[in-house]
Each structure stands twice: as C-alpha cells, then as structure tokens.
C-alpha cells in the first residue's frame, strides 16, 4: 500500500533522512521506533508533503506521492495524526471532526462515520460543542485521532499518540487504537516512544536511528532482539 524507497529528506539542505526504505502492506500494523531526533516525524511529514524530499520515491497504491501537492494527498486516503496533536483550537470538537471529513471518502456516509467515531471515542460526543483548545491533552489526542478517522482513510499514520499523556491515559489511547483497528480493519503506521507496546502489536517494525533504518522485522522478533532490548526496553 505504502512503498518508500531510498528516501532522503531534510530541512534546508541539511538531510535528516538518508536512503530510507519502508513498506506498509494493506491491513498491516507497522510501528516505527527510535530515539528523539531520529527523523520519525520528518518521515511522516515527507509522506504528507510538508517536508520536501531530496531523493528517492514514495508510492501510495502505486501512485507517486511526490508528484502530488501536499493537500491532495489526504484525498487519496492517507490520514496523518501529527505529533503534538495540532487540533484546531479555535474550532469546536465537532468542527475539528468535520475538517477531517472534507475528503471525498469522508463526505460519503459522514453521518454514519461520525456515529462510529462517537461510539469509539464517546468523550468527543460529550464535548462536541466545546472549543478544542480548551480540552485536556488526552481529550485533544482523541480529537486528533477522531479527526484522522473522519476522513475514512485507508492508511492512518499516527505520530506519537501517547506523547505527553499520563501512563494510564496513554494505555487507554493504545487500547482504543487496537479496538478501532479491529473494528475498521485499518492499515496503521505508528511512530511511538512506548517501544514495548508499539512492537507488541505490530505486524512489522522498523528501528530508526539518525535518519537510517538500523533494524527491521516482525514485531515479536524485534522485541526479542538484544539491541532493541538494551537500547529501548531497558533490559
């Protein structure tokens, strides 16, 4: 579904990603882990087009994303839930969700999709009329995830959905994601600092360090890998 080949990208001449290849098959749950500054968010931004690539290619269902304007990409079925939530703080919760639904796929069956989102994340229904900027961090994360789901995407990209949340809330977010994935059969690409959980549930995992893939494999294998255990799991 998503095929990234030999990608290099960065900010004003300074390359952050070097010759990086990542693949996501339809229906898969793929996790990317790695230390701060490894380039995980940069990878997501390059996929979405807010960071310009320097080389390589990104194919989504066979289509070359680099030829498309950033704002055209979500319409193909890619939802990007960015790091740090980035909700529209001066819009209400419902309006935030509606913004997710401006893609063709999102507009279709919007009433049903909204009902479905509310059933996964009931807090959004309770807070529908509240300005998103006044919500707690955890609630804002629900808005960001709900907003991504509102576009009825084929691929949901989540950048550190547990960032800045208390462990209990982070667990809750994770459980929700698993529930949503099971119900909707979504393809998910996840970047996470909670390495154990992220690899536990993943069909495939990548370890990114200083802009390069240093390890890849199925989740269980990676989790059992000595280097991963030492560096990320503290074992």
Ligand X SMILES: Nc1ncnc2c1ncn2[C@@H]1O[C@H](COP(=O)(O)OP(=O)(O)OP(=O)(O)O)[C@@H](O)[C@H]1O
Interacting residue with Mg ion among 9, 46, 80, 83 (CB under 5 A): 83
Give the one entry of another protein, Mg ion, ligand X, none that residue 90 binds, where binding means its C-beta sits below a cut-off of 5 to 8 angstroms depending on kind.
another protein
Residue whose CB is less far from another protein, 14 or 69: 69
* 83 counts as binding ligand X under rule CB under 6 A: yes
| Shortest distance, position 11 Cβ to ligand X, whole Å | 3
DSSP three-state, residue 153: coil
Token pair recorded at residue 147: 């907003």
- Residue 18 has phi, psi (to 5 degrees) of -125, 115
* 39 counts as binding ligand X under rule CB under 6 A: yes
Give the one entry of Mg ion, ligand X, another protein, none that residue 100 binds, where binding means its C-beta sits below a cut-off of 5 to 8 angstroms depending on kind.
another protein
Q: How far apart are CA 25 and CA 19, in angstroms?
A: 20
DSSP three-state, residue 117: helix
* 8 counts as binding ligand X under rule CB under 6 A: no
Residues that bind another protein (CB under 8 A): 48-50, 69-75, 79-82, 84, 86-91, 95, 98-100, 102-103, 131, 133-134, 147, 151
* 192 counts as binding Mg ion under rule CB under 5 A: no
| Shortest distance, position 155 Cβ to another protein, whole Å | 13
Per-position DSSP letters for 53-77, written without gaps between them: EEEEEEEETTEEGGGS-GGGGGGGT
- Residue 146 has phi, psi (to 5 degrees) of -60, -40
* 11 counts as binding ligand X under rule CB under 6 A: yes
Options 36-44, 60-68, 85-93, 165-173: segment touching ligand X (CB under 6 A): 36-44
* 38 counts as binding ligand X under rule CB under 6 A: yes
Q: What is the DSSP letter of 29?
A: E
Options 39-47, 53-61, 91-99, 129-137: segment touching ligand X (CB under 6 A): 39-47
Q: How far is CA 96 from the centre of its chain?
A: 17
Give the one entry of Mg ion, another protein, ligand X, none that residue 36 binds, where binding means its C-beta sits below a cut-off of 5 to 8 angstroms depending on kind.
ligand X
201 Cβ neighbours under 8 A, 6+ residues apart: 29, 31, 174, 178, 219
CB distance 66 to 51 below 8 Å: no
Which positions from 34 to 63 touch Mg ion by CB under 5 A, shown as an x/- string? ------xx----------------------
CB distance 142 to 121 below 8 Å: yes
Token pair recorded at residue 115: 């009902």
Interacting residue with ligand X among 21, 28, 41, 116 (CB under 6 A): 41
Q: How far apart are CA 143 and CA 72, in angstroms?
A: 22
| Shortest distance, position 89 Cβ to another protein, whole Å | 5
């Amino acid at each position: 579904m998503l095929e990234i080949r030999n990608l290099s990208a960065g900010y004003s001449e300074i390359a952050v990603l070097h010759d990086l290849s990542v693949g996501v098959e339809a229906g898969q749950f793929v996790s990317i882990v790695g230390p701060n500054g490894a380039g995980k968010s940069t990878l997501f931004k390059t996929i979405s087009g807010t960071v310009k690539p320097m080389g390589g290619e990104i194919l989504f269902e066979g289509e070359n994303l680099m030829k498309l304007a950033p704002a055209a990409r979500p319409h193909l079925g890619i939802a990007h839930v960015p790091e740090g939530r980035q909700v529209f703080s001066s819009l209400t919760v419902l309006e935030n969700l509606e913004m997710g639904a401006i893609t063709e796929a999102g507009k279709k069956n919007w009433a049903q999709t909204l009902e479905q989102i509310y059933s996964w994340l009931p807090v959004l229904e309770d807070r529908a009329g509240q300005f998103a900027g006044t919500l707690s961090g955890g609630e804002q994360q629900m808005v960001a995830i709900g907003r991504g789901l509102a576009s009825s995407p084929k691929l949901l990209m989540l950048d550190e959905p547990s960032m800045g949340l208390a462990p209990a809330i982070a667990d809750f977010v994770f459980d929700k994601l698993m529930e949503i994935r099971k119900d909707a059969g979504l393809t998910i690409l996840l970047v996470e600092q909670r390495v154990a959980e992220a690899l536990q549930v993943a069909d495939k995992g990548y370890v990114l360090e200083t802009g390069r893939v240093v390890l890849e494999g199925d989740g269980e294998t990676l989790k059992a890998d000595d280097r991963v255990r030492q560096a990320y799991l503290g074992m």
